[in-house]
Amino acid sequence: MNLIKRNKKGVAGMNIFLSVIATIFVAGIIIMAFQLTGAKLKESTTDVDAIEAINNTMLATKGATDFFPIFIVIAAIVVIILLLVIVVVSLRQSGLMGAGGA
């Protein structure tokens, strides 16, 4: 069995960051679909109970996008930490920094 060693340099944590961005994008599309569908359903019905249920659903999904910037910042911090770990490990392996600390 041949093992392929993948050595991607300079992309530490980029897969995590891109997956967070893609997840936020998909969640935004789903929320947009709920909002557009709710608006069309509200226009097409006259039943008071149905209109109330549609309004509740639209209000519940409307506030779901408030946390998106927080997720992006947390993912960016994770990427920065991973890059820092890679830099420290490469400095120790290069011999520029002693492993003992003193």
Phi, psi at 99, each rounded to 5°? -80, -20
Residue labelled with tokens 């011999």? 95
pLDDT of 13 > 60? The answer is yes
pLDDT of 18 > 90? The answer is no
Residue pair 65/28 in contact (Cβ under 8 Å)? The answer is yes
Q: How far apart are CA 78 and CA 81, in angstroms?
A: 5
Residue labelled with tokens 């994770």? 78
Closest CA to 38 of 65, 25, 56: 56
Q: Structure pTM?
A: 0.59
Read off the pLDDT of each residue in 4-25 and give the average, rounded to a whole number: 73
